[in-house]
């Protein structure tokens, strides 16, 4: 395929961080560019590859990582802090405008901490194991030497992880590796192995993990080695963490979201925490109100229930395993509660929002990692009689298009 060369001016930045040039053939998306820049690019259709910057924007800064533009983990290290903050906030404003909602969006909250959880890919080649993120729009891997968005404890563990994974990987095979910083130490969850986990491999893995000082290593959910049981603290409660469990990636972001949730429920006494996971919001809320925690993940709910049994000084917390996409809580079930908190995956909570809109619940606190689906769900709630408060955007995934939001709805 012959790539078309083009000399274009970048007019704006799209939702995924690519610069957009308006051409006679339609908009063309060119990564790593900024409004006002004149660039040479090559491509076909709606996407092109940046070849040269002919006229540079004053908002361009030097990237903070040697892997930038190759690694697919970060998309916008070239933006100045002011431009970056405005772009992220504007992406939230635009998402709500697309649903005819004039949202009051607060300034971007930028946590200072780094990610305590990373989902990486490991590949064994002829010589060694590579571990890192995939290249942008590619199956090729970037073998990480540095990473400014991951906690240094995770980055410093990567050389040891390469050695730990080598005997587990067949040549030219790969595995998914979730690394989580917990109060007990690093928790390593390995999945998608091609090799069978023999007794000899289990023994080698345990010895290597012990030498590296890792808290736990699991393979496809099976804890092969445990020195200390990994746990995190939510509010005042210590919660055991299942292998590979989803948690908020940045501790300071999680703390701010929990603060906004607790503030949002106000004096409500009975709370339904939907898509509750391991209880990041359930336990801070339970310091002042009774909680029903619901999630489809059996391991997460079991961990949450374990935290309830071992903890003290909180209001009663009950748990329920239920797929809220297929079987959302009905309006009748919701009416037993004063307030609802929901924090769904990127797909949002459309079915559940429709049930909330039919209920008599007075307060709803929405937490979302996707402004587009949050705006869709907000439209449902507003049409159902709710008024939406201030939307707080939280930059948990720095240098990426991803953004968390928290907002409160009232009847």
Distance from C-alpha of 102 to C-alpha of 383, rounded to nearest angstrom: 14
Contacts of 110 (CB under 8 A, 6+ apart): 85, 395, 398
What average pLDDT does range 372-394 have in this prediction? 98
- For the segment 207-223, what is each residue's pLDDT rounded down to a tens digit? 999 999 999 999 999 99
In contact, 410 and 363? CB cutoff 8 Å: yes
| Fold of the CATH domain 117-231 | OB fold (Dihydrolipoamide Acetyltransferase, E2P) (2.40.50)
Distance from C-alpha of 75 to C-alpha of 124, rounded to nearest angstrom: 26
State residue 150's pLDDT score. 96
Is the model's pLDDT at 329 over the cut of 80? yes
Question: Are 4-60 and 117-231 the same fold in CATH?
Answer: yes
Is the model's pLDDT at 236 over the cut of 60? yes
State residue 390's pLDDT score. 98
Per-domain residue ranges of the chain: 4-60, 87-112+250-410, 117-231
CA distance readout (Å), 406 to 165, 249, 286, 291, 382: 38, 16, 19, 19, 16
CATH number attached to the domain at 4-60: 2.40.50.140
Which residue in 65, 74, 369, 405 is the catalytic one? 369
Contacts of 207 (CB under 8 A, 6+ apart): none
State residue 171's pLDDT score. 84
3-class DSSP state for residue 187?
strand
Supply the pTM of this predicted model.
0.93
65: annotated active-site residue: no
In contact, 250 and 115? CB cutoff 8 Å: yes
State residue 3's pLDDT score. 64
What average pLDDT does range 287-303 have in this prediction? 97
- The CATH superfamily label for domain 87-112+250-410 reads Vaccinia Virus protein VP39 (3.40.50.150)
State residue 4's pLDDT score. 77
2 confidence band (pLDDT: 50, 70, 90):
low
């Amino acid at each position: 395929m012959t790539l078309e060369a083009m000399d274009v001016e970048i007019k704006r930045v799209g939702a995924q961080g690519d610069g957009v040039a308006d051409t006679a053939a339609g908009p063309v998306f060119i990564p790593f560019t900024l409004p006002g820049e004149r660039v040479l690019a090559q491509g076909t259709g709606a996407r092109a590859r940046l070849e040269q910057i002919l006229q540079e924007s004053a908002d361009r800064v030097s990237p903070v990582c040697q892997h930038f533009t190759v690694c697919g983990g970060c998309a916008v290290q070239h933006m100045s802090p002011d431009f970056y903050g405005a772009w992220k906030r504007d992406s939230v404003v635009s998402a709500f405008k697309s649903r005819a909602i004039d949202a009051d969006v607060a300034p971007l909250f930028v946590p200072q901490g780094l990610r305590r959880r990373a989902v990486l890919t490991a590949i064994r080649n002829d010589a060694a194991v590579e571990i890192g993120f995939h290249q942008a729009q590619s199956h090729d891997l970037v073998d990480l030497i540095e990473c400014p968005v991951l906690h240094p404890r995770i980055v410093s563990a990567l050389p040891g992880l390469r050695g730990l994974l080598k005997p587990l990987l067949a040549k030219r095979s790969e595995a998914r590796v979730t690394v989580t910083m917990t109060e007990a130490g690093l928790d390593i969850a390995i999945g998608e192995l091609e090799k069978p986990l023999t007794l000899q491999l289990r023994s080698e893995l345990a010895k290597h993990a012990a030498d590296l000082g890792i808290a736990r290593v699991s393979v496809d959910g099976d804890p092969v080695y445990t020195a200390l049981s990994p746990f995190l603290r939510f509010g005042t409660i210590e919660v055991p963490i299942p292998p590979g469990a989803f948690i908020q990636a940045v501790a300071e972001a999680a703390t701010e979201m929990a603060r906004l949730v607790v503030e949002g429920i106000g004096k409500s006494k009975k709370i339904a925490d939907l898509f509750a996971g391991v209880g990041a919001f359930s336990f801070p809320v339970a310091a002042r109100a009774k909680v029903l925690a619901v999630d489809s993940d059996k391991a997460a709910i079991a961990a949450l229930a374990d935290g309830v049994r071992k903890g003290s000084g909180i209001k009663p917390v009950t748990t329920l395993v239920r797929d809220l996409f297929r079987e959302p809580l009905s309006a009748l079930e919701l009416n037993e509660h004063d307030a609802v908190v929901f924090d769904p995956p990127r797909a949002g909570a459309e079915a559940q929002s429709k049930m909330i809109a039919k209920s008599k619940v007075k307060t709803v606190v929405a937490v979302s990692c996707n402004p587009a689906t949050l705006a869709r769900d907000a439209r449902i709630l507003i049409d159902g009689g709710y008024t939406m408060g201030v939307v707080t955007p939280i930059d948990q995934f720095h240098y990426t298009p991803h953004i968390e939001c928290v907002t409160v709805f009232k009847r």
